Amino acid sequence: MINTIFDFIGDDSGEWKVTSITTIKGNPITAVSHLTKASSNLVQSDEGIWTLKGIVSNLRYTEKEEKEKLVAVQEDLGRPNATLAAFIPIRKSEAWWNLAQDERRKIMENKSQHTQTGMKYLPAIARKLFHSRDIGEPFDFLTWFEYSPTDADAFEELLVALRKTEEWTYVDREIDIRLMKKSF
């Protein structure tokens, strides 16, 4: 088992209960009532109603000082009180991918302050990025956020801030799936 590859399985039962699915941009996704995040491998999975695969990678834009701050304050996924989550698959346009590294970095940080904005909401909002673009998946990134109900307003603020940035003008497909942990 490789611990960098994950399947997000949408189905009619599973680990997280889907509370809403909103198509922000582009084609919608088939509705499901539950989602499971499962450690996986490279084999294409046909589980559930749909499966999206993503790979954890190294940070591709974060600079030394930002990285040190991030590592100091961020929390892991799976905190017992983080009973709410958001799973937001996004795809960026060809125009984005045709930019060079320094141009993308400039848009993300100098103009959009992506890392700074996210940092403001740490450690309350735990987040994780999964890469999908290079493995023939329909989305470029699968973003995952976990938080407790007391931080739900802060999470909405964070999303509003991210979606207002110049970086977000390059997003051409985005689905916002909200989740609640099933209590056993």
Binding region for a copy of itself (CB under 8 A) = 2, 4-5, 41-44, 53, 55-64, 66-67, 97, 99-103, 105, 131, 133-136
Contacts of residue 120, Cβ cutoff 8 Å, sequence gap at least 6? 158
Residue 119: CB minimum distance to a copy of itself, A: 14
Give the number of other CB atoms < 10 A from CB of residue 56.
Answer: 13
Residue 110: CB minimum distance to a copy of itself, A: 13
Q: Which is nearer to a copy of itself, 18 or 171 (CB)?
A: 171
Residue 70: CB minimum distance to a copy of itself, A: 10
Phi/psi at 128 (5° precision): -150, 140
Q: Which is nearer to a copy of itself, 63 or 156 (CB)?
A: 63
Q: Which two tokens stand for residue 14?
A: 């599973």
Phi/psi at 154 (5° precision): -60, -40
Q: Which is nearer to a copy of itself, 67 or 164 (CB)?
A: 67
C-alpha 178/C-alpha 85 separation (Å) is 6
Q: Which is nearer to a copy of itself, 99 or 124 (CB)?
A: 99
Residue 2: CB minimum distance to a copy of itself, A: 3
Residues 171, 174, 179: CA angle, nearest 5 degrees: 145
